[in-house]
Structure 1
C-alpha cells in the first residue's frame, strides 16, 4: 500500500496523515507490504473491509494473502495485466457511465475470469458499433461472471 514512499490510495496528499496504515509505514521500518510484517494483521486492520471508500476494500486480505503465496513479481504481473484490461475497457467499452463499474469488476474478479469475459465480449461485440450497446453487453457479462463467484459489483458504502 505504501511503495517507494508514496501511496496513491484513499484521499491523496503528501503523507496521507489520516491513513493509519500509511502513517505506520512512514513512521516504522515496516516491510514494503503489510502482509510481510510480523505483526500483520494488526489493530490498523480492524474493520477495514467493512465498508469501501471510492475504491473497494473487499479483497484486501485475499490480495495480501495472494501476494504472499505467489510472490511480489508474479503479483505485480497480474496487476499490470489487469491495468491493461481496465484501459481496454475504458477505451473501447465505456459509454461514459461505466468507469467505476469496470474498476470494481477488474479489482474483484480473478484474472482468468476477467480474461474469459473479455473473450466473450470480443466475440459478442465484433460487429457492434454502438458504444452504449457494447457497454451494456460488457456490464451483463461482468455481472454474470461475478454472480457465478458470489461477488456483487457494487461498493459497500457506509450508511450515514
Structure 2
C-alpha cells in the first residue's frame, strides 16, 4: 500500500472526526513533530491508520463524519463521555468538542463552521506571535 503524500481533504483544519486540528499546537510546530492537519500534505506519513478517516474520507469521500447519514455511529462515544471527563485526561482540550462541533456542522453546514473556525485560527495566530 502506498503512502498518500498529497492533501486529501479540502479542510485539513478540521478532522474527519470533528477535531479542530487548526487549533492544535502541533499544527503550528516547526520541525518533525509538526502535523499538517487531518489528511493534509504528508499526513499519512505521521498517521498511517485511522478508522474514522478510512470510513469517512477514503470509503465515503466525505470531509467530516457529520456529512454521513449514519452519524453518529459506533465509532463515537456518547457526547457526555467527551465532555464530562476530567481535563487531566486530555492532552488536547478541543477533543471535548468533537460531538458538539459535528452536530453544528450537521445542522448549519460545513462551510459556515469552517468560516468560524478560520476566525478562531486567526485569533490564535495573533496570540502566538
TM-score range, shorter chain: 0.5 to 0.7
Q: Give distance in 1, aligned partners of 2:46 and 2:57.
A: 8
1:70 aligned residue: 108
Q: 1:55 to 1:22 in 2, by over 3 A?
A: farther
**TM-score using structure 2 length:** 0.53
**Which of 55, 58, 77 lines up with 1:46 in the alignment?**
77
Residues 84 and 27 (structure 1), Cα distance of their counterparts in 2 relative to 1, 3 Å cut: closer
The number of residue pairs the alignment matches comes to 89
Aligned to 1:25: 56
Instruction: Return closer, same or farther for 1:19/1:59 CA change in 2, 3 Å cut-off.
Output: same
Partner of 2:47: 16
TM-score scaled by structure 1?
Answer: 0.44
1 or 2 for the larger relative contact order (CA 8 Å, sep ≥6)? 2
CA contact (8 A) 2:56 2:68 kept: no
Residue 83 of structure 1: how far off its partner (Å): 0.8
Q: Give the alignment's Cα RMSD to 1 decimal.
A: 3.2
Q: 1:68 to 1:18 in 2, by over 3 A?
A: same
Could you say which residue in structure 1 is the equivalent of 2:26? none
Runs of 4+ in structure 1 deviating by more than 4 angstroms, as ranges, are none
What 5-or-longer segments of structure 1 have no aligned partner? Answer: 92-160
Structure 2: gaps (5+ residues): 1-7, 16-36
1:106-159 deviations in Å (ceiling 9; x for gaps): xxxxxxxxxxxxxxxxxxxxxxxxxxxxxxxxxxxxxxxxxxxxxxxxxxxxxx
Note the C-alpha offset of 1:67.
1.4
